[in-house]
């Protein structure tokens, strides 16, 4: 048997790998774009399967597939076509989507890749010959009915990104909040010194510090949900330029409703199809929220890295779990590798935002954005990286962290900022002189105040109580 078969499209014959489910247009794209070796993310392919399934349902219910138009098909053929769409959704055919990310800017190559695979798999499920050039289920006439790449491909990007935010990123961030809240509760009575400008500041509780981290991640969940909301309007139904040529007036609304039911996400038909086809502003907005989440994750990971620095010559207020040897030359060295991993992911996502921004601004030309494949790839990469690194950071770092209570509390008494609580008793100017003298003499604020009899002992003890300093006082 030959390694190739001959397929035909509007430009002529093409040699296609013999057992591939895809056809001529996919093979042309494989040959035309040997650029990166990066296929579209599976999440986007699965979303395209969802979109094709929803489109098939809409066309079935509107009587378009089995009606009196060109090449009507039977109810059985419609159902088999829908079954093949579900196989794409489920990832059963992932190996059949080889087109490079850096392809035609509308995503036409990948749209036809999906159409060809679904058509040929449908024919096979019916017991027919999927290699027969006379396709009983046609990639354009049936699978792509009422659609254009220009409306279905961006619809799939929205569906994929929203689905991954809901099912991957939000749960990961929620787990992060829970882990940080647990640590905040466990460490609520651990006193430590605060730091502003990396310099000694007034005391706080380690639990308060980690409670602040937890709130940062809670706000990140809100930003993820905001990103999802920016993706709810779907372009499907606009076909080529937004006018809806060759589709039913109810098609877009029906497809959006089917996708909402399938995913549990509140997708709706675009308010204006000309805007929805032409511009990817919602995607730019969504990724802006992802960039902000990345910014937050970088900050939290870096702060935890600093808190774990040492173990003898750093802060070492928190003991980070030892995950692996940290040096090829320094025996016993262990590094904050999970923080470093998260910080690198954050840097990547922040960089990805530049790609999304430029593609959204420069790619939107008249009735079509011509940089959509890279936008789809990039936003899904960001979501996957953020979700994955958060899960790893929680499992391999946060849950195993321990407070070094003695280290935390030892620095408090030594801090010159302890003098701040004396301001209400002796005033800023005198307190400032005490701080300078304490520093030059090597004495603590308490020792110096006792020596100079600045305040009665009982008053001094109240004023210099570090736990009292961690809350507002009447």
The DSSP bridge partners found for residue 16 are 5
The answer to whether the CB of 15 falls within 8 A of the CB of 3 is no
Per-residue pLDDT, 20: 96
- The phi and psi torsions of 211 (rounded to 5 degrees) equal -65, -35
Minimum mean pLDDT range among 69-78, 281-290, 460-469? 69-78
pLDDT at 244 over 60: yes
Minimum mean pLDDT range among 65-79, 192-206, 340-354? 65-79
Alpha-carbon distance of 457 to 449, in angstroms, equals 9
Enumerate the domain spans of the chain: 17-145, 153-234+280-406, 415-469
Closest CA to 133 of 120, 122, 143: 120
Minimum mean pLDDT range among 123-132, 187-196, 199-208, 344-353? 123-132
**Region 65-90 average pLDDT:** 93
Per-residue pLDDT, 241: 98
Per-residue pLDDT, 1: 57
pLDDT tens per residue across span 289-328: 999 999 999 999 999 999 999 999 999 999 999 999 999 9
Q: For domain 153-234+280-406, give the CATH number.
A: 1.20.200.10
DSSP string, 173-228: HHHHHHHHHHHHHHTTT-EEEEEETTEEEEEEEHHHHHHHHHHHHHHHHHHHHHHH
**Region 335-350 average pLDDT:** 98
pLDDT at 344 over 60: yes
> Which tops the pLDDT comparison, 343 or 132?
343
Residue 69 has what DSSP assignment?
Answer: S
The answer to whether the CB of 374 falls within 8 A of the CB of 102 is yes
Angle between helix 42-61 and helix 108-125 axes, rounded to 10 deg: 60
Q: Are strands 318-319 and 268-269 parallel, antiparallel or unpaired?
A: unpaired
CA 123 to chain centre: 37
pLDDT tens per residue across span 436-448: 999 999 999 999 9
Fold of 17-145: Fumarase C; Chain B, domain 1 (1.10.275)
Per-residue pLDDT, 71: 85
On average, the pLDDT of the chain sits at: 96
Global pTM exceeds 0.85: yes
Length of the chain equals 474
**Region 265-276 average pLDDT:** 98
pLDDT at 173 over 90: yes
Q: What percent of the chain has pLDDT over 70?
A: 100
pLDDT tens per residue across span 30-77: 999 999 999 999 999 999 999 999 999 999 999 999 987 778 999 999
Closest CA to 371 of 134, 379, 214, 177: 379
Residue 282 binned pLDDT confidence (cut-offs 50, 70, 90): very high
The DSSP bridge partners found for residue 199 are 196
Q: Provide long-range contacts, Cβ within 8 A and 24+ apart, for 300-307.
A: 300/213, 300/216, 300/217, 300/342, 301/338, 301/339, 301/340, 301/342, 301/343, 301/346, 301/393, 302/339, 302/343, 303/213, 304/213, 304/336, 304/339, 304/397, 304/398, 304/401, 305/336, 305/339, 305/340, 305/343
> Torsion over CA of 148, 151, 157 and 159, rounded to 10 degrees?
-110
User: Residue 248: how many CB atoms within 10 A of its CB?
Assistant: 18
CA distances from 403 to 4, 183, 288 (A): 64, 9, 35
Map residue 249 onto helix, strand or coil: coil
User: Residue 279: how many CB atoms within 10 A of its CB?
Assistant: 21
Minimum mean pLDDT range among 52-61, 131-140, 266-275? 131-140
Residues taking part in catalysis: 197, 327
pLDDT at 28 over 80: yes
Q: Are strands 268-269 and 233-234 parallel, antiparallel or unpaired?
A: parallel
Per-residue pLDDT, 432: 97
Q: Are strands 318-319 and 4-9 parallel, antiparallel or unpaired?
A: unpaired
Element (H, E) at 22: none
**Region 413-429 average pLDDT:** 95
CA distances from 408 to 187, 238, 471 (A): 11, 61, 18
Peptide bond preceding 311: is omega within 30 degrees of 0, i.e. cis?
yes
For the chain, what is the largest distance between any 2 Cα atoms, rounded to a whole number of angstroms? 102
Map residue 5 onto helix, strand or coil: strand
Fold of 415-469: Ribonucleotide Reductase Protein R1; domain 1 (1.10.40)
């Amino acid at each position: 048997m030959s390694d190739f078969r001959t397929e035909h499209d509007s430009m002529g014959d093409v040699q296609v790998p013999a057992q591939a489910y895809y056809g001529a247009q996919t093979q042309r794209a494989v040959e035309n774009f040997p650029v990166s070796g990066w296929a579209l993310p599976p999440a986007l392919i699965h979303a395209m399967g969802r979109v094709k399934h929803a489109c098939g349902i809409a066309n079935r219910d509107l009587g378009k597939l089995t009606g009196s138009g060109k090449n009507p098909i039977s109810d059985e053929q419609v159902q088999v076509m829908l079954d093949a769409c579900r196989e794409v959704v489920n990832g059963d055919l992932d190996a059949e989507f080889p087109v490079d990310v850096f392809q035609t800017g509308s995503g036409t190559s990948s749209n036809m890749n999906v159409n060809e695979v679904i058509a040929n798999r449908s024919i096979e499920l019916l017991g027919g010959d999927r290699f027969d050039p006379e396709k009983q289920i046609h990639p354009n006439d049936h699978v792509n009915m009422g659609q254009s790449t220009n409306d279905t491909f961006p619809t799939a990007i929205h569906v994929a990104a929203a689905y991954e935010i809901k099912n991957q990123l939000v749960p990961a961030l929620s787990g992060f909040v829970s882990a940080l809240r647990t640590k905040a509760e466990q460490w609520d009575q651990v006193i430590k010194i605060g730091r502003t400008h990396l310099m000694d500041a007034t005391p706080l509780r380690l639990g308060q510090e980690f409670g602040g981290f937890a709130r940062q991640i809670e706000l990140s969940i809100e930003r993820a949900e905001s990103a999802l909301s920016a993706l709810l309007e779907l372009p499907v139904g606009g076909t080529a330029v937004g006018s809806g040529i060759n589709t039913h007036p109810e098609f877009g609304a029906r497809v959006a409703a089917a996708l909402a039911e399938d995913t549990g996400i509140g997708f709706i038909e675009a308010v204006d199809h000309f805007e929805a086809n032409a511009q990817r502003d919602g995607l730019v907005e969504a990724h802006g929220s992802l960039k902000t989440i990345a910014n937050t994750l970088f900050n939290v990971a870096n702060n935890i890295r600093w808190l774990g620095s040492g173990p003898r010559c750093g802060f070492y207020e928190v003991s980070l779990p030892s995950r692996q040897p940290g040096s090829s030359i320094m025996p016993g060295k262990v590094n904050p590798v999970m923080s470093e991993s998260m910080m690198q992911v954050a840097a990547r996502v922040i960089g990805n935002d530049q790609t999304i921004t430029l593609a959204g601004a420069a790619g939107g030309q008249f009735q079509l954005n011509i940089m959509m494949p890279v936008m789809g790839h990039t936003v899904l990469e960001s979501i996957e990286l953020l979700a994955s690194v958060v899960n790893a950071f929680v499992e391999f770092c946060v849950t195993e962290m321990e407070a070094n209570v003695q280290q935390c509390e030892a620095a408090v008494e030594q801090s010159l900022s302890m003098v701040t609580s004396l301001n209400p008793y002796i005033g800023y100017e005198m307190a400032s002189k005490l701080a300078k003298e304490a520093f030059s003499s090597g004495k603590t604020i308490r020792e110096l105040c006792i020596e100079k009899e600045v305040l009665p002992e009982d008053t001094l003890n109240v004023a210099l109580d570090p736990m009292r300093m961690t809350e507002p006082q009447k």
